[in-house]
Structure 1
Amino acid sequence: MALYDNLFEPLAVGPVTIPNRIVRSAHSTLLSGEPLIAYHEARARGGVGMSTLEATNVLAPEGTRVPLGSDAVLQFYEEISARMRPHGMKLFQQIYNPGASVSPNLLPSLESPPSVGEIPNPLYNISPMAMTRGEIQGMTQAFAAAARRVRDGGLDGVDIHASSGYLIHEFLSPALNHREDEYGGSFENRMRFLEEIITAIRAEIGHDIAVGVRLPNEDYTPGGLTPELNAAIAQAVEDEVDYISLHMSSYWRFHKLIAPADDPLGTEMPSNRTITSVIRKPRMVVGRIMTLDHASAIVREGEGDLVSMVRALIADPELVNKARRLEESRIRPCIGTNMGCVGQIMSRGVLSCVVNRSAAQEDTQPFEPDDQAILPKKILVVGGGPAGLEAARTAALRGHRVSLHEATKSLGGQLVYARQAPHRADLGLIIDYLVSELNSLEVDISINSLVDEDVIADIAPDEIILATGSTPRTDGFQVAFPVEPVPGHHLPHVHTSWDVFSKHIVSGFSGQALVFDDIGTFEAISVADVLLAAGLKVTMVSRFEKIGEEVPFPPVTVGAARERLMAGNFDFIGGHCLRRIEQGAVHIGVPFTARERTLAADNVVMVGFKQPNRDLVEAIRSMDRTVHLIGDALGRNDLMSAIHGGADIGRSI
């Protein structure tokens, strides 16, 4: 018996039977060919009941990742469907046209994006072209032809994307659809485009494969679609489709499309209930559903029939099978930062995952190392932060004898502090997981253990991994003036982020606080959250122009935090440096200009570059031992680099 039996019951969705209730709704990977097949195959092997290939433009020509606009796509579909079939996972394709929600980098220089009207998308700032009646009819037929190719290629279903602010959503939305013809104005007219697409698809493929539609539950476009309007849309189309998938938001509030850890688990369920309670067809729900326990409760309470756990399955493609084997504690958790998945997609065009080194690289790198060390070694890991823990875990999986020494009383490194900040508790889940794994692997762990030459000589390791992290600088350093310390940095009311998180000094703060952000990450945001929660007036001064500017793709990683901060007693001043700190005041300016401003500040927190802890490097090298430096000791100062570096060294030694 599985731990959550109701999740492992099959469900009929039109002509298709989904073997279990854990599914993957469509999400961008920007992969193609074998990497894309291997990515989905890893989740199929892991027990997922259904997976949907990412939203693909029905006009995508040959030469694109999935050339859905021509029969050239059939060869790829035949290969990927054949690879999924032995695992029992059903494979769908989401079809769409982006409308105005398209990057100008993807548009030919002589084209304007087709749309319901001329309202620009807030992220890309292009005024689109209103579609003519002929263009609408042509687009409708393109959807039908795409559905035929999905069927002919051997896939199990097609998912019509009518959400997220894309083309069909634009027609449905009273905020975006200002047309005065039969496609605009009344509810019935705004529905016409979607209904004609569904009719055309049914005329093309009948009921040979499943046909579903993804609808918004709440779109957060001012004056747009509310849960009540979306319930009416769902009721209007449900007789013509086999399932309805619900998803929140649009580009007007981008972070709600992929809710970060700032939002509660199950953040979309309150909006979903208005819709799921009035429709009869199978319902797919999403929105920070990270655990099997939560998914099981949703199905048990009748709030959804299929539960999409996209990011949880990026973090651990074996999630379903582990639950079946009663190994829930061994599921690698998603920590909800969005920095590895959508953050990397939108900033670098590459899918990744903070906690899973192999995500989107399954064709070359398995989820866990599948080789054993030819010659098992004695490995000493110095440092129990995320880099050291992952290095120790991976090395132990490969058969090495591993001992880990941590200088403080707690494992977790800087995440010990970070998980204490408001809205950041999920960060600690990866530490809990890694520590549990090390205990299962019987890694020898020593805390409160400073490592020096004598300790190394006593252990006599074959190789040493230094994951000693970094420590906040207290010498007044700022990047804008690398030679000159900030005058006044030594005053007693000047603190580091670690002081704020670890020494309980905030209870003694009062009045106004100034946070200086010299690195543009979430660290300064979390400091501001702590100070605001303590009732202080907070001003953040940064050398960057935006809050969290160095975090990958801030609209989806920092957007929720920015809203939260700006809703409080908070101000932000970007593009400035510190001139000097005095008792009760801080003088700031713009680098390379003479202008200076003075801000009241009873307490100052400097969030800047840390000093990598590398003292042991030379000592170890003088002992003629092999040493590897990973994590923040390399000066990288980000969680994904730490975990990935630990995985890489553990797989290679």
Structure 2
Amino acid sequence: MAALNRILTPLTVGTTQLPNRMVMGAMHTRLETLDRPHERLAAFYAARAEGEIGLILSGGYSPNPEGVMENGGPLFNSATQLDEHRAVTEAVHQAGGRIILQILHAGRYAKVENCVAPSPIKARINTYVPRELTTQEVWRTLEDFVNTAALAIEAGYDGVEIMGSEGYLLNEFTAALTNHREDEFGGSFDARLRLPLEIIRAVRQRIGKGAILIYRISSIDLMEGGMSGTEIANFAGQVESAGADLINTGVGWHESAVPTIGATVPRAVWRESIRNVKRAVSIPVMASNRINTPEIAEALITSGDADLVSMARPLLADPDFAKKVRLGTTDEINTCIACNQACLDRIFTERTATCLVNPRAGREIEFPKGPAPVSKRVAVVGGGPSGMAFAINASERGHRVTLFEADTQLGGQLNLAKAVPGKAEFHEMLRYFRVRLDRLNVTLNLGKTVNADDLLSGDFDEVVIATGVKPRIPDIAGIDHSKVVSYVDVLKGTVEIGSRVAIIGAGGIGFDVAEFLVGDAEESLLAEAFFRAWGVDPESERAGGLSPDNLHTSTARAVCMFQRKAEPLGKRLGKSTGWILKAKLRKAHVQMIPGAHYTAIDDDGLHYSVDGNAKVLPVDHVILCSGQIANRDLFEQLQARGVTPRLIGGADVASELDALRAIDQATRLAVAIV
């Protein structure tokens, strides 16, 4: 393993020395919407401080009511709120950490009727048209930022971050796309920069030089009409002159048609835009977006492209990330797989954030710490996500666990998922599971199919069934035709698929199979392939950093997806990533047919009807992605013998392949067994 010296090196920001170069980036959690919100937030951030992260950036707090993300969203504008914030800062400081309050005005992204913006231009991702701020209101907004900054310092925060990226209010002022004003805050390039620069100066004067002042700049807008790389570098220099101690880099706007943080985005792919900012200033610069391993972080700093790295979702996945780097146990880091299922997808659908690979994230007060009162002998059958998660968590509680898996390798459905382009991060998930199982001395029995007699004779105190799912076979005439194959065979690579394909079923598995058939694996791994596919100019010579759209328009296969429901295909895909997959498949000319009734499969192909109109699609293969059924054979054997084992994962609920639910359920069961 390469040395990780630079990310462990202390760095002075302003007058504060940080113990290392690893930062927890700001992230909305919506924990304030749950019961005991301040206790939850304190425990959440304190866990990351205990994990030795060098600096924590809080989720964004609006400086005034019209700037909140949504009705009831985080707002910090009154001294009456000081105590609730002190609960957080004191918990972090007691754990040895440092925490910054992010001040975020959502601008035209605010999902509130009275949202405001530099100009009355509606965002593509919001139903509300913003009201244009008057000149007087712009000056009042500046004072609101200053007021919140002062309150933050009084509440014990170590500084503030002013959010000027991702298409929020201050970013809207800097871009010609959204700033059509004719007063002193619009028109020329310098006038568009005036508000954020005035805010930085005023905040610096109010909070003094002892507190850290960070400005988050958009290093590349990824929007037509956004700033060019030259303009961004110019702006960065003015941010430094205005009084910022540190520049954090954001990437893209939330409404950009280019993905920026999903697993389909290569790791550290935005380094060129970050380098552009770094070269323009002498103060430290922080890199962000798709940095999820210590090695990537180390490379960014060693190259001189950045001085620190911001990791938000990776600190959901593993709060002890920095501590494990220091201890040299990086193979035990629970790596963020950039799935967005439990964090961003939940936030964008008005739910609270957690993490697929770490269900404790945001739920710290719900899980007991320390060993179970009694150590039990536990058998878990099934080495997929739920079985492995249960085994790890039960072992950490002090139970003696034996895991049985019929296959010769662990992973279950994860071994299928990792074959899909854009899902290579699942290799990291499997690595973490394997390492932890080994370090915890879980007894593994691979390649062994167990029966009820084996378990009953094993003298186990508890038996947990995590045997997963089996593909559901639909009742269609000709379903046993040689053209018909299961998604399992396709993703395992055990069949050679022809050039004309029908996919029956358009849930997550159906879309994964379509991407497997027409996608480009290099696009999520190599920067050049990603930029070419999504039309990005990483050096931002053109305004917004966009180049002509070159997303793939041809494929060797003709693929047609079908579903029974008469609704758009992919409607239930993840909010933050589903659009990416649908865009890629559209450009690959994948047909999508809703409301289909299947009548037969024969030598001529797939016979079906839509709205009563009979059709036939000539195909080489019909791939079944028509759901799953729970594999409960062993469970039923045990029940017949008078034993009722615990049931988790797909063996419990088979609808879709929900690793999020499976791992959460397994983790909660593991800590419940006493």
TM-score (norm 2): 0.88
- Kindly indicate whether residue 51 of structure 2 is the aligned counterpart of residue 39 of structure 1: no
Q: Secondary structure at the match of 1:53?
A: strand
Aligned to 1:482: none
Within 5 Å, give how 1:9-158 maps onto structure 2. 9-32=9-32, 33-60=38-65, 66-103=74-111, 107=112, 111-158=113-160
Aligned to 1:538: 559
For residues 415 and 408 of structure 2, the distance between their equivalents in structure 1, rounded to whole angstroms, comes to 11
Which amino acid is 2:105 matched to? N
Is the 1:339–1:551 contact (alpha carbons within 8 Å) kept by the matching residues of 2? no
CA separation of 1:425 and 1:537: change in aligned 2, threshold 3 A: same
Within 5 Å, give how 1:518-597 maps onto structure 2. 518=506, 520-521=507-508, 523-533=509-519, 535-543=556-564, 545-553=567-575, 556-590=576-610, 593-597=611-615
For residues 597 and 217 of structure 1, the distance between their equivalents in structure 2, rounded to whole angstroms, comes to 51
CA separation of 1:362 and 1:457: change in aligned 2, threshold 3 A: closer
Q: Secondary structure at the match of 1:72?
A: helix
For residues 613 and 192 of structure 1, the distance between their equivalents in structure 2, rounded to whole angstroms, comes to 63
Is the 2:635–2:644 contact (alpha carbons within 8 Å) kept by the matching residues of 1? no
For residues 148 and 594 of structure 2, the distance between their equivalents in structure 1, rounded to whole angstroms, comes to 47
Which amino acid is 2:457 matched to? D
Aligned to 2:531: none
Of residues 120-129 and 373-382 in structure 1, the stretch that sits farther from structure 2 once superposed is 373-382
Which amino acid is 2:572 matched to? E
Which amino acid is 1:463 matched to? E
Q: Secondary structure at the match of 1:93?
A: strand
Which amino acid is 1:558 matched to? G
Aligned to 1:243: 246
Which amino acid is 2:647 matched to? L
Q: What is the CA-CA distance between 1:26 and the residue it aligns to?
A: 0.9
Aligned to 1:316: 318
CA separation of 1:24 and 1:375: change in aligned 2, threshold 3 A: closer
For residues 97 and 314 of structure 2, the distance between their equivalents in structure 1, rounded to whole angstroms, comes to 17
- Kindly indicate whether residue 487 of structure 2 is the aligned counterpart of residue 497 of structure 1: yes
Which amino acid is 2:395 matched to? A
Aligned to 1:174: 176
For residues 200 and 569 of structure 1, the distance between their equivalents in structure 2, rounded to whole angstroms, comes to 53
Of residues 27-36 and 180-189 in structure 1, the stretch that sits farther from structure 2 once superposed is 180-189
For residues 175 and 629 of structure 2, the distance between their equivalents in structure 1, rounded to whole angstroms, comes to 52
Q: What is the CA-CA distance between 1:246 and the residue it aligns to?
A: 0.5
Aligned to 2:547: none
CA separation of 1:229 and 1:119: change in aligned 2, threshold 3 A: same
Within the candidate set 506, 512, 517, 2:500 is matched to 512
Aligned to 1:234: 236
CA separation of 1:342 and 1:602: change in aligned 2, threshold 3 A: same
For residues 293 and 371 of structure 1, the distance between their equivalents in structure 2, rounded to whole angstroms, comes to 31
Q: Secondary structure at the match of 1:524?
A: helix
Is the 1:122–1:251 contact (alpha carbons within 8 Å) kept by the matching residues of 2? no
Q: What is the CA-CA distance between 1:373 and the residue it aligns to?
A: 3.0
Identity over the aligned pairs, expressed in percent?
Answer: 30
Which amino acid is 2:660 matched to? M
Aligned to 1:479: none
Within 5 Å, give how 1:274-353 maps onto structure 2. 274-353=276-355
For residues 175 and 236 of structure 1, the distance between their equivalents in structure 2, rounded to whole angstroms, comes to 21
CA separation of 1:118 and 1:601: change in aligned 2, threshold 3 A: farther
Is the 1:513–1:531 contact (alpha carbons within 8 Å) kept by the matching residues of 2? no
Aligned to 1:365: 367
Q: Aligned residue pairs: how many? A: 625
TM-score (norm 1): 0.91
Within the candidate set 618, 621, 640, 2:636 is matched to 618
Aligned to 2:478: 488
Deviations 1:140-161 (A, max 9, x none): 1111111111112121111111
For residues 378 and 396 of structure 1, the distance between their equivalents in structure 2, rounded to whole angstroms, comes to 10
Deviations 1:165-214 (A, max 9, x none): 11111111111112223222211111112122223223322324121111
- Structure 1's unaligned 5+ residue stretches are 477-484
CA separation of 1:374 and 1:182: change in aligned 2, threshold 3 A: closer
Q: What is the CA-CA distance between 1:229 and the residue it aligns to?
A: 2.5
- Structure 2's unaligned 5+ residue stretches are 33-37, 520-554
For residues 317 and 12 of structure 1, the distance between their equivalents in structure 2, rounded to whole angstroms, comes to 23
Deviations 1:553-586 (A, max 9, x none): 2xx1223322322222423334544344343443
Q: What is the CA-CA distance between 1:543 and the residue it aligns to?
A: 4.2
Is the 2:569–2:593 contact (alpha carbons within 8 Å) kept by the matching residues of 1? no
Q: Secondary structure at the match of 1:363?
A: helix
- Kindly indicate whether residue 591 of structure 2 is the aligned counterpart of residue 601 of structure 1: no
For residues 396 and 202 of structure 1, the distance between their equivalents in structure 2, rounded to whole angstroms, comes to 50
Aligned to 1:650: 670
Of residues 425-434 and 187-196 in structure 1, the stretch that sits farther from structure 2 once superposed is 425-434
- Kindly indicate whether residue 456 of structure 2 is the aligned counterpart of residue 457 of structure 1: yes
